């Protein structure tokens, strides 16, 4: 989950690396550091906290060079301290590394190195790599790195620098590494967002590949030493896409981008009553669909499960990827496993897809990042085209995923001889305009946020296809405001959660006018009877709920199956404004990182 960037060329490497770190900070902000390599020594500056703390430090102001590596950390092994910040160096100060991932056998490696006389300065697992390179070095930097990582078990993206050498070496196993191609300069990073300011031409390293990077180019090899010819991709977004454009936070910007991002999922895929998906998988023989995901993407999967079962008439499971990959579940060629991940790099979701593939199941990905690990491993997929999502709390990716799952369900239905209901296509096309109308109501939602910002706990309740919306609304609030929140099926309220309700306790209901509407009204009455504070997201006129709710957020009507896409928007905004009114850094919630590339 950490951010990595490296540069070799003719520019001032410090400025290139700092610019990259700022754009990678969403991947971790516990500490940050830079190493500049010169003929004389490695110059390292590190600090605790955000990149701004590193930038303002006295050491960094003295650094200059044209070769360097940098890192922004999300702590796994070792507390967020200056000693544990990357880059890490060997005993002699000859080699420095930055690392994203987890080294599972670091304890054994560390003990072995200590017995050989190596002295460690940090508590991290990462530092062992620098000492291993030192141990194996016999005049060949590349050979030393190759031998070092051959002993490492776990997931890693590593970039190494050697004093006096005008080159960097990068290695990838399960953690993303991208090489940027410039004019007599080269870049390497864990995310293309870090380097899009300088180049749009990139190469994505595959698992088990090592790259030697110099100002004049790069060479990619397998760990055996065999050269690999790589396809050069173009980054699909520009620098402007990862700037705030006048919004206070990226999260707010991305909430307001949802009319466009939802439209982008459908663009080119709706042809009259036809659904056009280039997923490269024959779904006609599928007998079971399994959706695997983590976090917000899992909430999208819970909605997608209902789409698949209703429209495709195929049994469907929605499983946490972190559980699926370790379950002893029978899989076959009749199964379709759908891996859902915004980044396409989520370690558990990637692991689940690889497990499914190894058991002969068909696999597709629903992802947002072109060239990501999952996109390269699955049989086919649906790109969201939502644009970069920088805010740690996912918003536009969630609604895009739900639309993609709806399209997938309709596509499978068509492939198996069914017809697509006309209202489904019509309502899909109206979603962007309806989302726009919800965003126009930001002032009211901000006022509600001011009323709940001091709450210590909030309950979110929904039924049927909107139960996952309750889960997602609660997750968003927890992520950015640090208020405890719990999402629950409204029908289960009396089986425990109602015990939380006392006078003034906030309860958020999703009350869509569907087959469960009257039951939800009954649940609201039960909360009112206990003097709870009721907030309702509803697609019926406010007068219909007067006297039942303290606050009513109206959303436009749509067919019930698409209502989650509209109902979640005000809950995203409620979470955002609550956190902002509390004075919190919404884009960098504590202890979280955007892309979870480790287990």
Mind telling me the catalytic residues?
A: 2, 594
Q: What is the DSSP letter of 232?
A: P
Three-state SS for 516? coil
Task: For residue 287, give both structure tokens.
Answer: 């007998």
Residue with tokens 């049994």: 315
Q: How far apart are CA 509 and CA 487, in angstroms?
A: 10
Q: Which of 347, 348, 374 is nearest to 363 (CA)?
A: 374
Q: How far apart are CA 411 and CA 141, in angstroms?
A: 51
Helix-then-strand count for the chain, H and E: 17, 26
Task: For residue 232, give both structure tokens.
Answer: 């050069």
Cβ–Cβ under 8 Å, residues 171 and 158: yes
Please give the backbone phi and psi of residue 478, each rounded to the nearest 5 degrees, phi first. -60, -45
Please give the backbone phi and psi of residue 557, each rounded to the nearest 5 degrees, phi first. -75, 145
Torsion of CA 503, 508, 512, 516, to 10 degrees: -60
Q: What is the DSSP letter of 334?
A: T
423 CA to centre of own chain: 32
What is the b/e burial string over 354-369, where b = at least 16 CB atoms within 10 angstroms of the residue's CB?
A: bbbbeeebbbbbbbbb
Percent helix, strand, coil in the chain, to 5, is 40, 25, 40
Please give the backbone phi and psi of residue 499, each rounded to the nearest 5 degrees, phi first. -65, -20
Cβ–Cβ under 8 Å, residues 511 and 519: no
Rounded to a whole number of angstroms, the distance between the first and last alpha carbons of the chain is 10
- Enumerate the H helices of 440-488 as residue ranges: 442-452, 467-481
Q: Which of 292, 297, 401 is nearest to 339 (CA)?
A: 292
Torsion of CA 98, 102, 107, 110, to 10 degrees: -10
- The residues, any chain, with a CB within 8 Å of residue 194's CB and separated by 6 or more, are 3, 5, 19, 20, 21, 23, 24, 187
Q: How far apart are CA 565 and CA 431, in angstroms?
A: 8
Compute and round to an integer the Cα radius of gyration of the chain.
25
> What's the 3-state SS for 64-81?
CCCEEEEEEECCCCCCCC
The residue ranges of DSSP E strands in 246-393, in sequence order, are 270-271, 274-275, 288-293, 316-320, 335-341, 362-367, 380-383
Cβ–Cβ under 8 Å, residues 505 and 477: no
- The residues, any chain, with a CB within 8 Å of residue 463's CB and separated by 6 or more, are 489, 490, 491, 510, 516, 519, 520
């Amino acid at each position: 989950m950490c951010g990595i960037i490296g540069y070799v060329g003719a520019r001032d490497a410090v400025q290139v690396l700092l610019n990259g770190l700022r754009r990678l900070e969403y991947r971790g902000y516990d500490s940050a550091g830079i190493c500049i390599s010169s003929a004389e020594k490695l110059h390292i500056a590190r600090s605790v906290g955000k990149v701004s703390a590193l930038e303002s430090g006295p050491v960094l102001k003295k650094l200059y060079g044209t070769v360097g590596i940098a890192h922004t950390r999300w702590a796994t092994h070792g507390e967020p301290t200056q000693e544990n910040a990357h880059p890490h160096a060997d005993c002699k100060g000859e080699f420095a590394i930055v690392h994203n991932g987890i080294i599972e056998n670091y304890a054994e490696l560390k003990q072995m190195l200590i017995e050989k006389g190596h002295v460690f300065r940090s508590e991290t697992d990462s530092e062992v790599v620098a000492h291993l390179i030192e141990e194996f070095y016999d005049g060949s930097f590349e050979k030393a790195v190759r031998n070092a990582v051959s002993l490492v078990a776990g997931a890693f993206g590593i970039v190494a620098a050697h004093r006096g050498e005008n080159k960097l070496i990068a290695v990838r196993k399960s953690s993303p590494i991208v090489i940027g191609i410039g004019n007599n300069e080269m870049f390497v990073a864990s995310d293309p967002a870090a380097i899009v300011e300088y180049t749009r031409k990139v190469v994505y390293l595959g698992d088990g590949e090592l790259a030697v990077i110099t100002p004049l180019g790069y060479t990619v090899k397998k760990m055996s030493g065999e050269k690999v010819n790589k396809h050069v991709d173009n980054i699909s977004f520009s620098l402007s896409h990862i700037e705030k454009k006048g919004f206070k936070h990226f999260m707010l910007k991305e909430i307001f981008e949802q009319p466009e991002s939802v439209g982008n999922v459908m663009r080119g895929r709706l042809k009259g009553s036809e659904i056009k998906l280039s997923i490269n998988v024959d779904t006609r023989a599928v007998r079971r669909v399994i959706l695997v995901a983590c976090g917000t993407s899992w909430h999208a999967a819970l909605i997608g499960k209902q789409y698949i079962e209703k429209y495709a008439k195929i049994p469907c499971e929605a499983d946490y990827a972190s559980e699926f990959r370790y379950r002893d579940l029978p899989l076959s060629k009749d199964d379709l496993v759908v891996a859902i991940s915004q980044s396409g790099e989520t370690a558990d979701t990637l692991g689940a897809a690889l497990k499914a593939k190894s058991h002969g199941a068909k696999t597709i990905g629903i992802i947002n990042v072109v060239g990501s690990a999952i996109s390269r491993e699955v049989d086919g997929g649906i790109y969201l085209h939502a644009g970069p999502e920088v805010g740690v709390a996912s918003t536009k990716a969630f609604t895009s995923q739900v639309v993609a799952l709806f399209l997938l369900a309709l596509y499978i239905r068509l492939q198996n001889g069914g017809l697509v209901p006309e209202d489904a296509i019509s309502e899909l096309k109206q979603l962007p305009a309806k989302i726009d109308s919800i965003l126009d109501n930001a002032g009211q939602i901000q006022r509600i946020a001011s009323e709940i910002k001091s709450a210590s706990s909030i309950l979110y309740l929904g039924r049927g296809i909107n139960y996952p919306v309750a889960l997602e609304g609660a997750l968003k609030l927890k992520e950015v405001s640090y208020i405890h929140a719990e999402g629950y099926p409204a029908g289960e309220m009396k089986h425990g959660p109602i015990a939380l309700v006392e006078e003034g306790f906030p309860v958020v209901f999703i009350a869509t006018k569907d087959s469960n509407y009257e039951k939800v009204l009954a649940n609201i009455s039960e909360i009112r009877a206990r003097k709870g504070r009721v907030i309702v997201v509803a697609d019926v006129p406010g007068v219909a709920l007067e006297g039942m709710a303290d606050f009513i957020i109206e959303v436009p009507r749509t067919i019930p199956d698409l209502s989650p896409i509209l109902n979640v928007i005000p809950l995203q905004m409620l979470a955002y404004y609550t956190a902002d009114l509390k004075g919190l850094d919404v884009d960098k919630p504590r202890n979280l990182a955007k892309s979870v590339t480790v287990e």
